[in-house]
Amino acid sequence: MIAQGLGALVGFCICLMGFDISKKGDVSEIPNTGHDYWIAQLCPVNGCNDDGEVFAKVFCIELVMTFLFVTFVLVIVKHNGSSEMPINAACIGMALYLCVREASGVSGGCINPAVGLIQSVM
């Protein structure tokens, strides 16, 4: 989990290098140059930009939904899967959809606790 968190942080920093950031007073901001580009945010509106009030909630929902999704995939692939590949693929796709749908109201539904936490912090 720590390695994934560090990887997500490095990935965030690499993506941030693609923007022209200027210092304006005490705040660094991306200047409006007339181009329509935005930084993607996995969190819903006002979901993660609350100064850390939902940090524990983001961690818990991401942890539970990731656990459920990975468990479901392992059960389908290793234990009780159908002999038909399209049925297995449909079941796994539905499980992913449901996990993302449940987590999207809190963390944006990235189904990875490390990415969810780094996104919330940054």
pLDDT, tens digit (0-9, with 9 covering 90-100), for 48-92: 555 666 677 777 888 899 899 999 999 988 887 778 888 888 989
Look up the pTM and report it.
Answer: 0.61
pLDDT reading at 21 higher than 90: no
DSSP assignment of 29-44 equals E----S--------SP
Of the candidates 19, 26, 36, 10, which has an alpha carbon nearest to the alpha carbon of residue 122?
A: 10
Rounded Cα–Cα distance for residues 57 and 64 (Å): 11
